[in-house]
């Protein structure tokens, strides 16, 4: 496993949430310097839509799981248009892989994205 993947898995497994918060802040600092808030919000809206479907799905075969997996190519496309999002992709891709194997931890994936967005704004991220 790569170092970042290990860090993501540890953050998602951490019951106290400290590792998740630290990871989110590290990534948000990088993002605040390179991307617009509207770019992150657009991605976050998709995560929220997946979250809404998640509670209706049943296990690994649900439409929400498929939508979550399909979020990876959507994010990859956005990274190709805005390289500053790469630091987000480095965290979100392994988080998605982890959640697909451990669906009960999906709420922690959402918390990770929420924390990144919150710290993004706290560290000066805005639309320029």
Are 109 and 12 within 8 A, CB to CB?
A: yes
Tens of pLDDT along 26-52?
A: 999 999 999 999 999 999 999 999 999
Q: Model confidence at 58, in pLDDT bands (50, 70, 90)?
A: low
Is the pLDDT at 127 greater than 90? The verdict is no
**Start-to-end Cα distance in the chain:** 37
Helix, strand, or coil (residue 94): helix
Closest C-alpha to 109, from 55, 47, 66: 47
pTM (whole model) above 0.75 = yes
Per cent of the chain over pLDDT 70 is: 95
Sole residue written with tokens 């590290």: 26
* Residue 68 CB contacts under 8 Å (≥ 6 apart), including other chains: 50, 54, 96, 99, 100, 106
Is the pLDDT at 59 greater than 70? The verdict is no
Tens of pLDDT along 88-125?
A: 999 999 999 999 999 999 999 999 999 999 999 999 98
Residue 84 DSSP one-character state: G
Q: Per this entry, what is the length of the chain?
A: 128
Q: Domain map of the chain by residue range?
A: 3-122
Return the sign of the alpha-carbon dihedral for residues 58, 61, 62, 64: positive
């Amino acid at each position: 496993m790569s170092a970042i993947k290990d860090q993501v898995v540890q953050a998602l497994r951490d019951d106290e949430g400290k590792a998740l918060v630290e990871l989110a802040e590290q990534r948000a600092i990088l993002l605040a310097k390179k991307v617009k808030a509207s770019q992150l919000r657009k991605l976050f809206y998709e995560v929220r839509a997946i979250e809404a479907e998640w509670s209706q799905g049943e296990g690994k075969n649900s439409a929400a799981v498929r939508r979550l997996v399909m979020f990876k190519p959507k994010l990859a496309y956005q990274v190709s248009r805005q390289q500053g999002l790469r630091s987000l992709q480095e965290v979100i891709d392994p988080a998605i892989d982890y959640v697909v194997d451990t669906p009960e931890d999906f709420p922690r994936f959402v918390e990770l994205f929420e924390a990144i967005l919150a710290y993004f704004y706290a560290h000066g991220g805005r639309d320029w």
